[in-house]
Copies of this chain bind each other. A is one copy, B any other.
């Protein structure tokens, strides 16, 4: 019983996923999703950790990040026989979204040769260990779908942000440009609905400064 994590962030205007290099067989030397086994206990009293807790623990172990500051969500469970050549392993996959201002901490803290942020483009040809390529594909599709109808874009942006910055997140994740005017219209509806509020100050850019906002509830 394992958990695997598909951890996304945005670095250099690219959507990226954290991968770790395997140090042992099988798939020694290949890149894989971070993950590990769930701590389970057989006795009625000590049954071990919750699945969600295991996912948050792995997130912390691999990135050093505080799980409270990262969006983490169950994705699906992968349990084909033979997916791990050693023995039967059923893996509950989670996806996580790390705000880009927190991503550098990961690189500084971890072993750069061991863990690395890979752009999602071309990641399919990397030949991930186990069935991790498939898990990644499912995660990417889920994140893209949820971006359209949920709040998760705010988990890929610093605590304060401008409308153009949020629009870039959409463009990067969906790999498709968004119309500035139409995006602003949708954003203004969220503003009216009270999901967002204006933050003090202006974001200084190369030209006209932009209004700064922050996500309200949470």
Give the residues in chain B near A92, CB-CB below 8 Å.
77, 79, 90
CA distance A16 to B45 in the complex (A): 36
Centre residue among A38, A81, A82 by max chain B CB count within 10 A: A81
Spot the interface stretch: A29-37, A47-55, A196-204, A206-214: A47-55
Interface residues of A in 86-113 (CB under 8 A from B): 86-88, 90, 92
Q: Whole-angstrom distance from the CB of A88 to the nearest CB of chain B?
A: 4
Considering the complex, give the chain B residue whose CB is closest to the CB of A45: B82
Query: Could you tell me the distance in whole angstroms from the C-beta of A198 to the nearest C-beta in chain B?
Result: 33
Contact A44 B74 (CB under 8 A): no
The answer to whether A50 and B81 have CB atoms under 8 Å apart is: yes
**A1-44, CB < 8 A from B:** 1, 38, 40-44
Closest chain-B Cβ to A190's Cβ sits at a distance in Å of: 21
Secondary structure at chain A's binding surface: helix, strand, loop or mixed? loop
Contact of A80 among B50, B77, B78 (CB under 8 A): B50
User: Would you mind naming 26 contact pairs between A and B with Cβ atoms under 8 Å apart?
Assistant: A1-B1, A1-B90, A38-B79, A40-B90, A41-B81, A41-B88, A42-B87, A43-B87, A44-B86, A44-B87, A47-B81, A47-B82, A47-B87, A47-B88, A48-B81, A48-B88, A49-B81, A50-B79, A51-B77, A51-B78, A51-B79, A51-B80, A77-B77, A77-B92, A79-B92, A90-B92
Give me 20 other A-B pairs in contact (C-beta within 8 A), A43-B87, A48-B88 excluded.
Answer: A1-B1, A1-B90, A38-B79, A38-B90, A40-B90, A41-B88, A42-B87, A42-B88, A44-B85, A44-B87, A47-B88, A48-B81, A49-B81, A50-B79, A50-B80, A51-B90, A74-B76, A77-B77, A77-B92, A90-B92
